[in-house]
Amino acid sequence: MEQVKEEKYVVLPSGVKAMKAIYRDDEKVSKYRDNPLITALPKIMSEYDAFDFMSHYPSIEQNLSEFNDNERFHSLTSVKSFFHVGRHHLNLEMTFSRFLRDSYVGRNPLDKDHATNFHILHRQLNTGEELYLPPNSLSEASSFSLIGYSGMGKSTAIERILQYYPQLIIHPAPVGTTQIVWLKLDCPHDGSMKTLCISFFDEIDQLLGTTYLKQYNRSSTSAMVTAIAKISKTYCIGAIIIDELQHLIRKNKNSEMLMNFLVTLVNVVGVGVMAIGTMKAKQVLQLDFRIARRSIGKVWEPLQFNKEWLTFTSELWDYQWTKEFIPHDDELSEVLYDCSQGITDLAVKIFTLAQGRAIIHKRKGINARLMRQVVKEDLAMIKPMLRALRSGNPTAIMKYEDLYPIDLDEQLASMSLSLDKNSRMEEHRQQAKEKRKKALSLEEKVLSTVIAFGKDEKKAKKAFDTMMKSDPNADETTLLYSVMKMVDEVDVIVKREKKKQAEKEGLKILVPLAEKAKKEKRLSYDLLKEAGYIKDPLHEFNL
Amino acid sequence: MLPFFPNPYPGELLDSVLARFHARSGNSHSGQSMKQLIGNEAVLLSYDLPSRIGTLVDRIKHVSELDSDTLIDDHT
């Protein structure tokens, strides 16, 4: 992103920043040249650039030796943003880069076809005809499916790749449009077409500040589809990425409809469609999705125990917050492999949780036993999945895949509770108990003296409590002195309070009387006299 | 600010350009497009002396080179 930073942005009414198009004139690939939609994209990355761009290594505190256990424990979650780039990531980046650019080949907005297609689409939207466009022989848009086990970092990888591309590029005349380079949607949970269309409109509205969702909210699905085709053309959408495609499986009719729609987008509209899903989505993706004229398929298997795994673990090994740094060796790495079965995300979690255990149980650092313990106790839930992975039986794996998502924060939270239960907390509790005992005997001494002076016991107790709260370490004499003083003060205050109370009571009686007099249109003097508050002067002076 | 605007052809009248805007916009009703273009769906733009050109030009300045004078001289 560094090279785009200096460029000018335009802030759209939606509040989203859009980049002003800068057309590169150094495009060497001839099919990409002269296409403003492609030359406005950043350069094709070399493998090294891609490695640097995608990998992320969170920094580790230098003064780790000064950390106490709690601080160490809190640091553990930093590892979450750790992203190690493996060969499969680089391969994905390369394929995606080609897939995105190819989807723009043959889609030059300055061509005559581009304008013609709008008129066809407009007529179809008005008459409610089925979506159809004359075939574009130049189009190289393709469908792209990425299937992989949960926890292999599919979504994270694609998000990191997408960050390289500006999402919105504003083209001045003659193109005169805002190019939406990519759009990422989640497959709806119910697998319905309509929900997907709605999330498409919603996403566009949020980017551009338009009101498509409001306009098409109640339209038929076919109208929505035509509108989507039109919008995709107007804003030159390059790639639509649909994540979590495994949601589709349950409803067969829906899934077929949705797949047809995605294939139409590729073949007719010329938008590249990428679908990401777990192994469960394999069948749908490999059979239905591949009908697209051109298609790319990728399957991410768990890593094998080989050099790549060792590189990955050696990078991971830097993230230790325990008292002692345990150097990376093949043996521990193999244990971790055995525990995680080559699922990278799972390996990171086991590694972190093992450190959490080490900190709580006052171990110096991680070891093989701790890692196995984590799998056995903290991650007991996913045990069937690990067993299935070990057996290599695909049907068994599919069955247990839903078990996977484990929340590292949650696991750590349940751990920190046990941190409290440990010895130090018990010690602290004992100390607090002794303190309380000590305070009690002191209380008895002070109170008996105060009572001997003829003061009220209740007041003395109250005064003692307040004194203890304000100064818990006070000795006997100071306490005695201040309690005596306080009790006396309290007496004075109580007397004053009583007087005030009496005055108030008076008001309570006299005022209503005066009001009653007003109501009855009599003199308040008479009423007060009747009630006995004013004495008769004749009687008083005995005249 | 509008996210796109069609490039006018030489000698094309403004209402034709706006019609093309609507055809591309994906809006379901032309009123919606008028609202986006000039802020009011009830205004009828006459082809010889259209009004609210200032509003329109201001809204499309990021995606078009048109200014008020060119628009009046070449497209009305």
Q: Which residue of B has its CA nearest to A178?
A: B3
> Which residues in chain A are contacts of B62 at CB distance < 8 A?
10, 170, 172
pLDDT at A40: 92
Are residues B63 and A234, on separate chains, in Cβ contact within 8 Å? no
Indicate yes or no: CB of B26 within 8 angstroms of CB of A212: yes
Q: Amino acid identity of A465?
A: D
Element (H, E) at A33: none
Is B26 in contact with A177 (Cβ distance < 8 A)? no
- Sign for the CA dihedral angle at A25, A29, A33, A38 comes to negative
Per the CB < 8 Å rule, is A177 touching B23?
no
Instruction: Please state, in angstroms and rounded to a whole number, the distance separating the CA atoms of residues A213 and A204.
Output: 9
E strands, A181-294, where?
Answer: 182-186, 239-243, 272-277
Q: Do B27 and A172 touch (CB under 8 A)?
A: no
Q: Is A176's CB within 8 Å of B26's CB? A: no
Distance of CA A465 to the CA centre of its chain: 47
Q: Of A232, A227, A94, A241, nearest to A159 (Cα)? A: A241
- Contact of B10 with B74, CB cutoff 8 Å: yes
A101's enclosing H/E stretch is helix A87-104
Q: Which pLDDT value is given to residue A404?
A: 61
pLDDT at A423: 57
Query: What is the pTM for the complete model shown?
Result: 0.73
Alpha carbon A95 to chain centroid distance?
A: 29
B26/A231 CB distance under 8 A: yes
Q: Which residues of A fall within a CB distance of 8 Å from B7?
A: 173-176
The residues of A whose Cβ lies within 8 A of any Cβ of B are 10, 12-13, 118-119, 122, 125, 170-178, 208-212, 215-216, 219, 223, 227, 230-231, 233-235
Task: Say whether B6 and A178 touch across the interface (CB within 8 A).
Answer: no
Q: What's the rounded Cα separation, in Å, for the pair A315 and A153?
A: 16
Residue-wise burial string across A139-173, b where 16 or more C-beta atoms lie within 10 A, e elsewhere: bbbbbbbbbbbbbbbbbbbbebbbebbbbbbbbee
Distance, in angstroms, between A207 CA and closest chain B CA? 10
Report how far residue A464's alpha carbon sits from residue A471's, in angstroms, rounded to the nearest whole number: 10
Residues of A in contact with B64 (CB under 8 A): 172-173, 176
What distance lies between CA A46 and its chain's CA centroid? 32
- C-beta separation of A447 from A476 below 8 A: no
State how far residue A306 is from chain B, nearest Cα, in angstroms: 51
Q: How close does chain A come to B3, measured CA to CA in Å?
A: 5
Residues of A in contact with B32 (CB under 8 A): 211, 215
Q: What are the tokens at A191?
A: 């697998």
Query: Which residue of A lies nearest to B3 if distances are taken between CA atoms?
Result: A178
Domain edges within chain B: 14-75
Predicted local confidence at residue A231, as pLDDT: 93
Q: Does the distance separating the beta carbons of A231 and B4 come in below 8 Å?
A: no
Which of A177, A222, A226, A237 best probes binding to B when mutated, by most B CB atoms within 10 angstroms?
A177
Tokens of A157: 């990888």
Determine whether the interchain pair A171/B63 forms a contact, defined as Cβ–Cβ distance below 8 Å: yes
At residue A202, the pLDDT reads 94
Classify the complex by whether its ipTM is higher than 0.85, answering yes or no: yes
Rounded to the nearest 5°, which phi and psi values hold at A22? Answer: -120, 120
Q: Which of B63, B65, B74 to mutate to test the interface with A (most CBs of A within 10 A)?
A: B63
Q: Which residue of A has its CA nearest to B29?
A: A215
C-alpha to C-alpha distance for A465 and A474, rounded to whole angstroms? 12
- The Cα of A159 is separated from the nearest Cα of chain B by a number of Å equal to 25
Is residue A367 within 8 A of residue A326, CB to CB? The reply is yes
List the single residue in A with minimal CA-CA distance to B1.
A13
The stretches in chain A having pLDDT less than 50 are 1-6
Q: How many angstroms separate the CA of residue A186 from the nearest CA in chain B?
A: 23
What single letter denotes the amino acid at residue A4?
V
String of DSSP letters for A462-473 = HHHHHHHHH-TT
Chain A residues whose CB is inside 8 A of the B28 CB are: 125, 215-216, 219, 223, 227
A324: left (phi over 0), alpha (psi -120 to 50) or beta: beta
Most A-contacting residue of B5, B7, B22, B59 (CB-CB within 10 A), to test interface: B7
B67 at A interface, C-beta within 8 A: no
Paired sense of beta strands A177-180 and A168-171, if any: antiparallel
Contacts of A174 in chain B (CB under 8 A): 7
Largest pairwise CA distance in chain A: 130
Do A211 and B25 lie within an 8 Å CB cutoff? no
Residue of chain A nearest B5, judged by CA positions: A176
pLDDT of residue A3: 47
Q: What does each C-alpha distance from B29 to A147, A245, B45, B75 come to in angstroms? A: 41, 33, 16, 24
* pLDDT reported for residue A41: 93
The amino acid present at A18, given as its one-letter code, is A
CA distance A100 to A482: 81
Which residue in the block uniquely carries the two structure tokens 């003060």? A489
DSSP string over A146-176 = EEE-TTS-HHHHHHHHHTTS-SEEEE-TTT-
